[in-house]
Amino acid sequence: MKLYFASGNSHKKEEMTRLLGGFALVLPKEEGIEFDPEENGSTFIENALIKAEALYSIVHQPVLADDSGLMVKALGGAPGVHTARYGDDAGKKLSAREKYMLLLKNMEGKEDRSATFVTALCLILSPERKYIIQETCEGEIATSPSGTNGFGYDPVFFVNDAGMIAAELPEGDKDIYSHRGKAARKMLTLLKEELNDKE
């Protein structure tokens, strides 16, 4: 089964391929398809669906899309669907470090530091067959950054189940606990079922 991945990001593709046990994914740009839909949903599921439907309407073949972010309880669920753009304004984009330092600043004085990473995955097999899987990784926002592994907000995210800051987790271990790892494992079960049905 050929599966398109609704993203423009080759690193994301590599990560998702690994998480899906080597399942071959095709990026739209690899086939010269221009793809940059406006992610204006108010939830991760809406955004994953927007991306999957936009690409499906072009390729008319199975499509996978994802959307992720961080929800912090004391900030009313922010940055949420705006996680990738947190603190950016028209003129300036913050670096990953500037973003998590801004988060630490906004968390000053907050007693409840609980937070959740969320990933929504959307698989469209045909216009009538659509699957959504949403998973979480529960944690706490640390008071200072630590660790060098991972990306994004990992240096300030303490993973409850691992008892460690995400950026301190040995490479590979993060997949066990992460929102994306959990969602991808469930998606792989679904994809395997589809493949077996086709055999």
Looking at the DSSP bridge assignments, the partners of residue 122 are 65, 132
CB atoms within 10 A of CB 195: 11
Query: 96 CB contacts (<8 Å, ≥6 apart)?
Result: 151, 152, 153
Among 28, 87, 145, 152, binds ligand IMP (CB under 6 A): 152
Considering the candidates 36, 66, 67, 197, report the single residue annotated as catalytic. 67
Which class for 132: exposed (0-12), middle (13-18), buried (19 or more C-beta within 10 A)? Answer: middle
Comparing CB distances to ligand IMP, the nearer of 85 and 194 is 85
Least CB distance to ligand IMP at residue 154 (A): 4
Query: Using an 8 Å Cβ cutoff, are 48 and 67 in contact?
Result: yes
Compute and round to an integer the Cα radius of gyration of the chain.
Answer: 17
If the CB atoms of residues 49 and 70 are measured against ligand IMP, the closer one turns out to be: 70
Q: 135 in helix, strand or coil?
A: strand
Question: In the complex with ligand IMP, which residue's Cβ is closer, 148 or 196?
Answer: 148
Smallest distance, ligand IMP to C-beta of residue 27, A: 14
| Terminal Cα distance for the chain, rounded | 11
Per-residue x/- track, 47-86, ligand IMP (CB under 6 A): --------------------xxxx------------xx--
In the complex with ligand IMP, the residue whose CB is nearer, 59 or 102, is 102
Does 151 participate in binding ligand IMP (rule CB under 6 A)? Answer: yes
- Total of chain residues touching ligand IMP, rule CB under 6 A: 14
Give per-residue burial for 141-178: e unless 16+ CB within 10 Å, then b.
bbeebebebbebbbbbbbbeebebbbbbbeeebbbebb
Candidate list 153, 164, 168, 182; residue touching ligand IMP; CB under 6 A? 153
**Active-site annotation holds for 175:** no
For ligand IMP, the binding residues (CB under 6 A) are: 67-70, 83-84, 117, 150-154, 166, 178
Active site residues: 67
